[in-house]
Chains A and B, each alone.
Chain A
Amino acid sequence: DAGVIQSPRHEVTEMGQEVTLRCKPISGHDYLFWYRQTMMRGLELLIYFNNNVPIDDSGMPEDRFSAKMPNASFSTLKIQPSEPRDSAVYFCASSFLSGYNQPQHFGDGTRLSIL
């Protein structure tokens, strides 16, 4: 099993540019999560999907952030326009549907730097 795959691993871009982060969950997993990690705020849940449908996006910071899951094997997190305060490590995770005691499997993250 390849695990959760995220791309790119690193992204450096200038303020105002659009940023797109990608995630491929583990095959067969029904839940997909997007997290953001910073030194100041720790690991924060941004949004999660169940069977490709967004269930809770209350953690999304503002309208500049959007996430989609067009199919069971792919999700994107987009920031437009990007700002320096968006600099963080963004993690994607996935898990099975079959109950709330199913642990999440995390990717290795995308380290985003907005200049």
Chain B
Amino acid sequence: LAKTTQPISMDSYEGQEVNITCSHNNIATNDYITWYQQFPSQGPRFIIQGYKTKVTNEVASLFIPADRKSSTLSLPRVSLSDTAVYYCLVEGDTGRRALTFGSGTRLQVQP
């Protein structure tokens, strides 16, 4: 399973754009990159997923360079409600269909 590395924590202010970068140097050809968000007392919630280049939805954008060894989750104009832990995961056809969650990035948004 591909190992991911991301910052332990980040701070931001309301209205700012937040970019969280994740490293996954040993990503395999069939692997997808998935980001989850977790609020206190809740289970992780799917945010966005991508394979290469750029993916955008109503919540976030995901940028993946050509070598796919890293990815960046971009949250536009964050609000206090975006305060959460964000997990980057790499999953694919490994024979063990599972997710390996790292420690995640704890984002704190201040007014």
Task: Tell me, in angstroms, the Cα distance from A106 to B41 when the chains sit together.
Answer: 12
For this complex, into which size category does the number of interface residues on chain B fall? 20 to 34
A100 with B102, Cβ < 8 A, contacts A106-B44, A107-B43 known: no
Q: How far is the CA of A31 from the CA of B98 in the complex (A)?
A: 10
Contacts of A106 in B (CB 8 A): 42-45
Inter-chain contacts of B43 with A (CB < 8 A) = 4, 91, 93, 106-109
Most chain B Cβ neighbours within 10 Å, of A45, A48, A100, A108: A100
Sorting the interface of chain A by its residue count into under 10, 10 to 19, 20 to 34 or 35 or more gives: 20 to 34
Is the contact region of chain B dominated by helix, strand, or loop, or is it mixed? Answer: loop
A33: B residues at CB distance < 8 A: 98-99
A71 lies within 8 A of chain B by Cβ: no
Q: Which of A4, A31, A91, A103 contacts B97 (CB 8 A)?
A: A31
- Known contacts A106-B43, A109-B42: does B30 contact A100 (CB below 8 Å)? yes
* CB of B55 to closest CB in A, whole Å: 12
B17-42, CB under 8 A of A: which get 1 and which 0?
Answer: 00000000000001010101000011
Q: Which residues of B contact A44 (CB under 8 A)?
A: 101
Residues of A within 8 A of B45 (CB): 106
Let me know if B46 and A100 touch, CB within 8 A: no
B96-110 vs A, CB cutoff 8 Å, 1 = contact: the mask equals: 111111111000000
Whether A101 and B32, one on each chain, are in contact in the complex, defined by CB atoms closer than 8 angstroms, is yes
Q: Residues on A close to B: CB < 8 A?
A: 4, 31, 33, 35, 42-45, 48, 50, 55-56, 91, 93, 100-101, 103-109, 111
